[in-house]
Each structure stands twice: as C-alpha cells, then as structure tokens.
Amino acid sequence: MSGTKPAQQTGTQSAPQTRPQVQLPAPAPLPAPAPVLAAPLPMAAASFVGRDEIRAVLLAPLSGPYAAWGQAMSNAAQLALFDVADQRLNLIPLDTKGTPEGALLALEQARVQGADIILGPVFSAEVKAVAPQARQWGIPLVSFTTDRTALGQGIYTLGFLPESQISRVVTHARDQGKLRFALLARSDEYGQAVAEAFRNVVPQLGGQVTKVEYYDPQAKDISQQVRRFTESDQRTRGRDRKDASPVPPPPFDAVMIADEGTRLRTVASLVTYYEVDIDKTPILGTMLWDDPRLAAEPSLQGAWFAAPSAESYAEFERRYASAFGSRPPRAATLRASLAYDATALAATLVRQNLDYSAATLTNPGGFAGIDGLFRLRADGTNDRGLAVRQIAKAGLTDIAPAPTSFAQPGM
C-alpha cells in the first residue's frame, strides 16, 4: 500500500484493490498487518449475518490539549480499516476533548449513531464517566486505560497493564536462575499499581518477593532510601579499604525499578553505587523504559524490560508514515497502535460474521496485533505476549522473542 492513503471520511469504507487478506484462525507472522484470531473460537452467535452495516465508534481527544494524540489514533484506525475492514464496517470517530464531560457527550452521540461497539476512550476519568451508561445500554467498550478500577461488566481495555510486563521480564529472569526479587518504586499511583502486580505475579512464577520499598518522586535526594533498600551498611560493616574480598550480595537476585527518564537514571546509579553488582544482580523494568536515550546510562547496561517487539512496531510506523506523511508523535505512539489494534479487532470479527459478545471478545486463544499477542479477560483486563528487551550502548535490542501463542509456557 506504499504511497496510498486510507480513506479519510468517516462513512462506510470501500474496499481497496490492494487490501491485504487476513488469514484466520492461524496467527499472522510478525510484523502482523492486523489482529487475527490466534486460535479457533467455539461456535458463537453469528449476529452479523445478514447485517448490511455494523458501526464502531472511536472515542478520542480530537480537540483540546491532546488533539495530536486523537488525530494519530484516528489515522491509525483508518489505516486498520484500509487493511482489514469490508464495506459493512462503518468507523465513526467522535471527539471526547480528553475530558469526562466530553466523553459523555460523545457517548450520547455514539448511541444516536447506533454504535455496535465503542473503541476508547483513553483516560481513566473518561472511561469511568462513560462506563455506567455503556453498560446500561449494553454496548461493549474496549478502552485504552490502564486503570483496573474502571473495568468489568462489558468494559475492557487494551492498555498495557503492569501484570503482563512484570510476568514477562520476571519469567525471563527466572529462566536465568534468579529466585529472589525486590522492587524499588516511586510512591505515586503508578508505583503502587506496579507494586500490587509485582506482589501477585512473582510468587505465581515461583519467585520470592524479598523487598518492596517506595521513594518520593518529588524528593531532591533519595540516596538514604536506596542505601537502606540495598542494605549497603550491613553488607560493608567492619570492612576497611584494604579489604579486597567481594562485598556480600544484596538480599535479592534481581531488582525492578518502577520509574522512567532522568529519575530512573538517578535511582539506577544509586543502586549500583550502594554495592549492587548489575552483572550478577540484573535490573528489571517496565515499558516505561522503552526509550533509546537510556542506552547512555552506564548503570542500566544489560538491564531487561518487557515491551512489544520492536520489529512489529517499526513496521507499523513505516506504514503509518507512508499513508499520512509522518510518523505518529512520540507521546502518541502507543495510543495510535492501540487504536489500530482495537479497530482491526472489530473489523476482523465483522469479516468473520462473529458478534461483539463477551464470549467472542474474550476468546481465550486471543488475537495477534501490531503490539503482539493479546486477549481480553472477563474482568476487563488483558493478557499480552511481550518480548524482553535489553539496554546496551548500541541501543535497545530484543533478547527474548514475544510468544506467538497463549499456550506457550509462562503464558
């Protein structure tokens, strides 16, 4: 499709001559052009048989401070239509303005438009605002939030939740013989969410949680917290400068740091300063680490984190740029790929004459998309198949591939 732009209007899409064909039920090879069923579904009510039109509404911030995000999401959704949809699927982007009030108004419009499924919105407050009405009206909603408290009873998310990220990188560490895991997290909502998932996931994978500690992300100096966390004083007590014997190891085999950017670099450098040998005790992270600038930080050399396969997303960015003349803005990249996968999921089910019932959307075999394997769960959360990436001076590289099936060990 190089050089060909998808249709920009919001009406029913005509089928381009060059549209790729999605093969079902087998997963597509990466980089995947669109979500496909990763396993056969049980017999479902084929409610779209005989329907001339099925309507999917995309709730996105098309105006206001996050308008660039919304436009990238709308573009990506149009790209998914170009790749997957047949003439029956009508995608209707509606503006939430990035606010709960705007989301409610957009939801009202979606009902008037006869929406069969809602894709979005992005922010937790928006999802919480529209969820009660969507449930009352019986319209399934696939959002992009990472707030678990907004989910359930027909409200789902494709957002990247901490559980899948922690599970993937801890599984990799366990494969390397690491048993005892510690977490150092900022004391905000994100850090608390990571800590809750960390405490749940590590024991499920046969590991031990030895420490969970927090630090104030606004503090100018957190050296004492990190010093206490590493138990540096106890391990070096009684030693003098002439003692060349190795310092005893810390009370953990691997340490996860739940932070990003400049503060992550500061915390990681303090961890190594207080006698943690990162060659023996690896540092682990989350998708917040998917930042090429971290390659310049010495204390993060060799660190591991979980994220979607770089190859698949690079192909998505290339195709997006070919269609729209530029890549999505950096801050909007994940939202754009989520909008693509959500739209392509809706389109794929229409092509197969499958409905948007809970049984169909929560197919245990999942789907394969731009961001890798995913499946929606009955409680509204999701599972994801992620790659393990490593930080090195040369950049960020995949060192363990993303799974291609939820039947693989560790999934």
User: 94-131 pLDDT, tens per residue?
Assistant: 999 999 999 999 999 999 999 999 999 999 999 999 99
Q: Read off the pLDDT band of 236 (50, 70, 90).
A: confident
d(C-alpha 411, C-alpha 409), whole Å: 6
Give yes or no for a contact between 122 and 141, defined as CB atoms under 8 angstroms apart.
Answer: no
Q: How far is CA 18 from the centre of its chain?
A: 30
Q: Read off the pLDDT band of 245 (50, 70, 90).
A: confident
Q: Does domain 36-159+310-384 have CATH number 3.40.50.2300?
A: yes
Beta-bridge mates of residue 117: 56
**pLDDT score of 243:** 64
Across 294-311, average pLDDT: 94
Digit-coded pLDDT (tens) for 214-227: 999 999 999 999 99
Give the per-residue SS3 of 287-306. HHHCCHHHHHCHHHCCCEEE
Residue 188, judged by CB atoms within 10 A of its CB (0-12, 13-18, 19+), counts as middle
Of the candidates 145, 106, 162, the residue with the CA atom closest to the CA atom of residue 335: 145
DSSP 33: S
Across 13-18, average pLDDT: 35
Give yes or no for a contact between 129 and 155, defined as CB atoms under 8 angstroms apart.
Answer: no
Q: Would the CATH topology of 36-159+310-384 be identical to that of 162-239+246-308+391-397?
A: yes
Question: Long-range pairs for 320-324 at CB < 8 Å and ≥24 separation?
Answer: 320/75, 320/76, 320/79, 322/1, 322/2, 322/3, 322/4, 323/1, 323/4, 323/5, 323/6, 323/75, 323/79, 323/82, 324/5, 324/75
For the chain, the domains span: 36-159+310-384, 162-239+246-308+391-397
7-36: buried (b, 16+ CB within 10 Å) or exposed (e) per residue?
A: eeebebbeeeeebeebebeebbebbbbbbb
Q: Which CATH superfamily is domain 162-239+246-308+391-397 in?
A: Response regulator (3.40.50.2300)
Digit-coded pLDDT (tens) for 329-347: 878 888 999 999 999 999 9
Tokens of 62: 């098309």
pLDDT of 281 strictly over 80: yes
115-134: buried (b, 16+ CB within 10 Å) or exposed (e) per residue?
A: bbbbbbbbbbbbbbbbbeeb
SS3 111: helix
Phi, psi of 389 (to 5 degrees): -115, 155
DSSP 332: G
31 upstream amide cis, omega within 30 of 0: yes
Give yes or no for a contact between 250 and 281, defined as CB atoms under 8 angstroms apart.
Answer: yes
